[in-house]
Amino acid sequence: MSGTTDAGWGDGTRSVRAGLPDPVPGQPFLPGPVFAAPYHLDPWQGPSAAANGYGRPDNPTRRLLEAAVGELEGGDCRVFASGQAAITGLLLALLRPGDTVVLPADGYFPVRAFATDTLAGIGVRVLFAPTAGPYPSFDGVKLVLVETPANPGLDVVDLAELTARAHAAGALVAVDNTTATPLGQRPLDFGADLVVASGTKALTGHSDLLLGYVATRSAGLLEPLTAWRTVTGAVPGAFDAWLAHRSLATLDLRLGRQSGNAEAVARALSGRPDVTGLRWPGLPEDPAYPVASEQMRRIPGVLSFDLGDAERVARFLDASRLVGAATSFGGLHTTADRRAQWGDDTAPGFVRLSCGVEDPADLVADIVAALDAAGPPPG
């Protein structure tokens, strides 16, 4: 396992210390990014003499970030240029023609599109199952990928039960941990073989970079993933890696405010007849609550609901002063995304709301006022 973080430390301490090098007098806490394509080579020994030879496979700034994320996830990590690069790299590195993969039917839409367009095209058998089940038989399945909480519907699956069932059938399990982050849950602790995530979102949280990662405790799985990244070149730039590592220090603080804001907003919306389909796994009445409350260490700052149609969503966003119209989630600013506009198979009025770090009272008041101004739903 990467790093030396004390397992007894709290989330805030671990986030601040993750992946930092040993202190050296006169040097910064986190060294600045190393920008290099080639490095100087030893003229006699060549690349075997030093850790860095060429910037695609070798970069010290990227290795520090990998150590940090690996410490938080509890495994060894490889970072990628984006979350999509990480998850497609995982699927293509591990699956071969004739293999069968089970993917979430209600998960991230571009992953489903990639599976039907690319994986099926190279001879991989693709099955889909809802996050909350029911699941097909795992006999003959090579890999089960789950996303919990699911994006954007926020269903949750019992990871310990699912991994036990998959492993009994000989299948690997990968968990998309984007929505939860490693401070919300650590899938490797529940038996998952791999964790994959977009670091673009709540992990780094400042809406200023693209990043993905895969983590595992298996050297046999890490090696093909590393080789895939090297030959495809799906690496993040040094500055993005440095920005991401810098941002990790405030992860605990950001998640705490975002989760608190999501709870306040969810409770405010739960009594409104003009808001339907409200989902936030932290509400006791939410279908995912029984599993989420036992499995997750904190509930993310993302909720979803339906406002009836696209026009009412637009009126709501026009009226709001604090909710921006944007895709992605997990940033410092509260945003809302009408998923159907991206081709996702959701209802026209379905909204994924990502709570930022604004003052809870201000955010709730703004959302309530904007909903009132948007008028009643159609019909």
Say which residues have a Cβ less than 8 Å from residue 320's Cβ, sequence separation at least 6. Answer: 336, 366, 367, 369, 370
Residue with tokens 């994320």: 69
One domain for residues 107 and 244 = yes
One domain for residues 195 and 288 = no
CATH number at residue 17: 3.40.640.10
In a domain, 279, yes or no: yes
In a domain, 6, yes or no: no
In a domain, 3, yes or no: no
In a domain, 165, yes or no: yes
In a domain, 98, yes or no: yes
Q: What is the pLDDT of residue 8?
A: 86
- C-alpha closest to that of 354 among 317, 301, 310, 318: 301
In a domain, 379, yes or no: no
Say which residues have a Cβ less than 8 Å from residue 265's Cβ, sequence separation at least 6. Answer: 303, 353, 355, 363, 364, 367
pLDDT tens track for 229-244: 999 999 999 999 999 9
One domain for residues 290 and 370 = yes
One domain for residues 346 and 226 = no
One domain for residues 239 and 257 = no
- C-alpha closest to that of 152 among 124, 111, 117, 193: 111
Active-site positions? 56, 108, 176, 201
Q: By residue range, what is the domain housing residue 15?
A: 11-248
One domain for residues 103 and 48 = yes
Decide which of 248, 276, 306 is a domain's last residue. 248
pLDDT tens track for 178-229: 999 999 999 999 999 999 999 999 999 999 999 999 999 999 999 999 999 9
In a domain, 1, yes or no: no
Say which residues have a Cβ less than 8 Å from residue 363's Cβ, sequence separation at least 6. Answer: 261, 264, 265, 322, 334, 355, 356
C-alpha angle 21-179-65 in degrees, rounded to nearest 5: 15
Q: What is the pLDDT of residue 1?
A: 34
One domain for residues 110 and 186 = yes
In the chain, the number of structural domains is 2
Burial class (CB in 10 A: 0-12, 13-18, 19+), 253: middle
Q: What is the pLDDT of residue 261?
A: 98
Decide which of 217, 248, 279 is a domain's last residue. 248
- C-alpha closest to that of 180 among 74, 281, 105, 79: 281
One domain for residues 228 and 275 = no
- pLDDT > 70? residue 22: yes
One domain for residues 208 and 128 = yes
pLDDT tens track for 100-141: 999 999 999 999 999 999 999 999 999 999 999 999 999 999
One domain for residues 213 and 227 = yes
Q: How confident is the model at residue 173 (pLDDT cuts 50, 70, 90)?
A: very high
One domain for residues 166 and 277 = no
**Average pLDDT, integer, range 329-341:** 97
Q: Is the dihedral of CA 288, 196, 186, 260 positive or negative?
A: negative
CATH number at residue 261: 3.90.1150.10
Decide which of 216, 248, 280 is a domain's last residue. 248
One domain for residues 183 and 265 = no
- pLDDT > 80? residue 82: yes
SS (HEC) of 44-73: CCEHHHCCCCECCCCCHHHHHHHHHHHHHH
In a domain, 70, yes or no: yes
Q: What is the pLDDT of residue 359?
A: 98
